[in-house]
Structure 1
Amino acid sequence: MLKSLQTSLRSTLKQQCLNKSVYRMSSTVACQAQRSQPEEPALFHEVGSARYLTLNRPRVLNAMNIDMVESFFPMLQAWEKSEAAKMIFLKGNGRALCSGGDVKAFLELLKRKDPKIHYILDLDYKMFHYIATMKTPYIALMDGITMGAGAGLSVNSAFRIATENTVFAMPETTIGLFPDVGASFFLSRLDGRIGTYLGMTGHTIKSHDVLQSGIATHFVPSAHLPALQSRLISLDTSDHDTINDTINEFSSEHVTRQDSKDQHFTLRGDIRQTIDKCFQYNTAEEIVDALKRDGSDFAKAARDTILKRPPTSVKVTLQHIRLGINMGIMDCFKMEYALWQKFAVRHDFSEGVISQLVTKQPPQWQPASLSDVNDDDMRHTFFDTPAPHDIELLNDDTYFTSPYRRYALPSETDILNTLTENPTWQQQDLTRHYMELSHGKFGIAEKVADIWERNKLATNAPKAASATATATATAT
């Protein structure tokens, strides 16, 4: 069945290559590139009722290009419609799940004013929204570098499994863009102001921070992934709760420091307080000034990083994260689709890609400073003025809170609300409560301890806890 489906899909794509429509990516040039490529950009296989999608461009860290999307997107749609496919695993060959989109190739198309760029952008965003709204359990194994487009392939899915090898970032501001692929939705919903910090700076985080922030739903040591997959396949089920309970068994507090390469949660304590204090503002200038007033080494590094980024990208990133918190997933994708059309033709995008990937020289942003970007003009240009093209997604499914949110660690708001409802509880009571709910899930104790210490709850002052919970709920 799988072999015949793959044959059919290859036949369809071959026919597309012969079609002269400018809105089809598979032009003659693309077809020639496919014929000369010695390996398929994506691989598929099935084990029982499980389906595997493996990204297969390891020499470029599985950077996503149009050949890859055209290869796997029809397969995902077929699996979603098939009753025989009960769960889908996403993997990457090599040391990355997916390091991002192939922006260098995209820039070359822009330079040639190739109209197929509209087809690429359209197909990518249809695919990202489709993944975010799939009903078949989708399990992303983030066992390596997961950045940019890699986040779009994983973070909006039901199950995102980090390992000690996970390295995550949304680094788009470094190349004159903005965090896309649904980032306006998922970054805006991280605890406190972590999402704003990650989006504006492009800071890279590793496994524990990926788990604790809510980007990943589980942590499982890389060596245990084969056993986890075998167990899940043996279940022969498409029930999300059953799958979650099974992953939790592999993501227990029995995970050792050696299993996690002795990594630890870094966005905690004083650093987290600085993030929430300084990134609470709604203008980039206020955030930069707050970081300067803070004066800590962390704040200085964050400020220096922001000031090196293209000012337009920094301001648009902040604005789209602020807007995203009040938008559903579908509208977030549509907003980003419109933003992409406006950014792709700007100087900063070509300057960023060339300086980062070609010349390795410091970029020359235009405008060059935050003060040169008028906030009203920025909002008018990027958010109030319609883009040249609209997108018609494959379905109208949307949500304001992920239907699978409960599979990640509890949010800070969840924990503070629980404490408010149980004002006599101590830290160990709170930890025990969530450990029982999650069958001893790795990361629970560390998260509760940080929240307890940071909000000064050791004295058990219910009024203060209630006020903090209200403030956190407002911030997120």
Structure 2
Amino acid sequence: MALSLTFTRETDQVLFAGNSYVKEVILNRPQKLNCLNYEMIRQITRNLTSFENDSSVKLVILKANGKAFCAGGDVKSVVASALIAVMGGGAGLSMNTIFRVVTEKTVFAMPEASIGLYPDVGASYFLSRLPGYFGLTGAQLNGAEMVACGLATHFVPSKENGKERGAKKWIADALNYMHSSSPTSLKIFLRSVREGREQNIEQCLCREYDVTTHLISLESDFFEGARAKLFDKDNNPVWKPSKLELVSKEMVDQFFKEIDDEDCEPLQLPHRSKIQSKL
């Protein structure tokens, strides 16, 4: 089944600046916490491809206007109203850079399972390199924690120091998140991150593309999660199955099958000749 997309065109959602050697890509949708939509992705892809093929370009800087770098994909126009900093698709956008600069105000999270999806955009690659199963918790990391676990490369303090959360609260938040999330989504990501530990970024992205296509094509928890979190906003999704022990291996397997639909366009990844050896 082909997925239909509709979107409203906005102007200057992504700004491009710089000189012959250094280019800047600036997300410019601060009122939506720089949520990525289809048109923004098209603009970014087109310009990054041009930069890649320009031998004079030595550095590309990704930045954003407003208080958030990117709060993920624009599932609905108001989806990011309560999110901050780097989440979901914003994480995928930033993780494939060589330098990732954070402050004590930075917040990083991959909370997709709470709406019946699962962490994709390369998450099974960069999260599988961390100890444990961070993607299952939906927990938030601050800037210092991102540097400590390797998700960020540089820490630059801002003028105000944020408060650190205690370990007990972190654990409680993680458990509450998992209890409220889709059991199917949690099991999908558990398998995805385990496979990602043995794969390169291209293999991870291709696998995630297939899984996500199945999630939005088959009967899945995504539609119920979107209803409860984004549309009706009752925050009371009815997951099917409702418990982890009811999600069988066969149920998870169906999301990892190769796409066999002539209406579904295969994922086409660009050749990254300049930075391939550095990732």
TM-score (normalizing by structure 2): 0.86
Structure 1's unaligned 5+ residue stretches are 1-21, 108-143, 223-258, 272-295, 406-476
On the 8 A contact 2:52/2:272 being kept in 1, the answer is no
Aligned match of 1:431: none
- Measured after TM superposition, the shift of residue 67 of structure 1 is 1.0
> Mean alpha-carbon deviation: is it higher for 44-53 or for 309-318?
44-53
User: Aligned pair 1:354/2:219, yes or no?
Assistant: no
Cα offset, 1:356, TM superposition: 1.2
**How far off is 1:89 after superposition?**
0.8
Contact 2:138 2:174 (8 Å CA) reproduced: no
Aligned to 2:269: 393
Distance 1:341 1:48, change over 3 A: closer
Q: Say whether the 8 Å CA contact 1:63–1:102 is kept in structure 2.
A: yes
Please, what TM-score do these two structures have when normalized by structure 1?
Answer: 0.52
1:192-212 Cα deviation digits (max 9, x unpaired): 21xx1x311211121111211
SS in 1 for 2:119: coil
Q: 2:15 aligns with which of 43, 47, 62?
A: 43
Number of the residue aligned with 2:65: 93
Would you say 1:156 and 2:128 are equivalent positions? no
**Residue 127 of structure 2: aligned partner:** 187
Distance 1:330 1:215, change over 3 A: same
Residue 103 (structure 1) aligned with residue 75 (structure 2): yes
Equivalent residue for 1:416?
Answer: none
Deviation at 1:404, TM superposition (A): 4.1
How large is the Cα RMSD of the aligned pairs? 2.7
Q: 2:156 aligns with which of 207, 220, 226?
A: 220
The 8 Å contact of residues 112 and 119 in structure 2, kept in 1 or not, is answered as yes
1:377 deviates by: 0.8
For residues 92-134 of structure 1, what are the alpha-carbon distances to aligned partners after superposition, in whole Å with 9 as ceiling and x for unaligned? 11111110001126x9xxxxxxxxxxxxxxxxxxxxxxxxxxx
1:209 and 1:40, CA in 2 relative to 1: closer, same or farther beyond 3 A? same
User: In the aligned structure 2, how far is the partner of 1:220 from the partner of 1:93?
Assistant: 18
Map of 1:327 onto structure 2: 199
Q: What letter matches 2:121 in structure 1?
A: V
Contact kept? 2:13, 2:29, Cα under 8 Å: yes
1:82 to partner: Cα distance? 1.0
Which residue number corresponds to residue 178 of structure 1?
118
Q: 1:13-412 counterparts in 2 under 5 A?
A: 33-34=8-9, 37=10, 39-47=11-19, 49-104=21-76, 145-190=85-130, 192-193=131-132, 196=133, 198-222=134-158, 259=159, 261-263=161-163, 299-345=171-217, 346-361=219-234, 362-374=236-248, 376-383=249-256, 385-388=257-260, 389=264, 390-395=266-271, 403-404=277-278
Contact in 2 for aligned 1:173/1:201 (Cα 8 Å): no
Contact 1:54 1:91 in 2 (8 A): yes
Structure 1's 265 and 50: CA in aligned 2 closer, same or farther, altered over 3 A? farther
Structure 1 pair 85–396 and aligned structure 2 pair: CA distance change class (3 A): closer
**Higher relative helix content:** 1
Q: Distance in 1 between matches of 2:195 and 2:272?
A: 20
Question: How high is the sequence identity, in percent, across the aligned residues?
Answer: 36
Q: Deviations over 1:357-381 (max 9, x none)?
A: 222211111111112111x213421
Gaps of 5+ in 2: none
SS of the residue 2:267 aligns to: coil
- 3-state SS, counterpart of residue 67 of structure 1: helix
Which residue type is aligned with residue 259 of structure 2?
Answer: A
Number of residue equivalences: 266
| Contact 2:105–2:162 (8 Å) recurs in 1 | no
Q: Is the 8 A contact 2:211 2:255 kept in 1?
A: yes
1:206 to 1:45, Cα distance in 2 relative to 1, 3 A? same
8 Å CA contact retained: 2:184, 2:252: no
Partners in 2 of 1:150 and 1:201 — Cα distance? 18
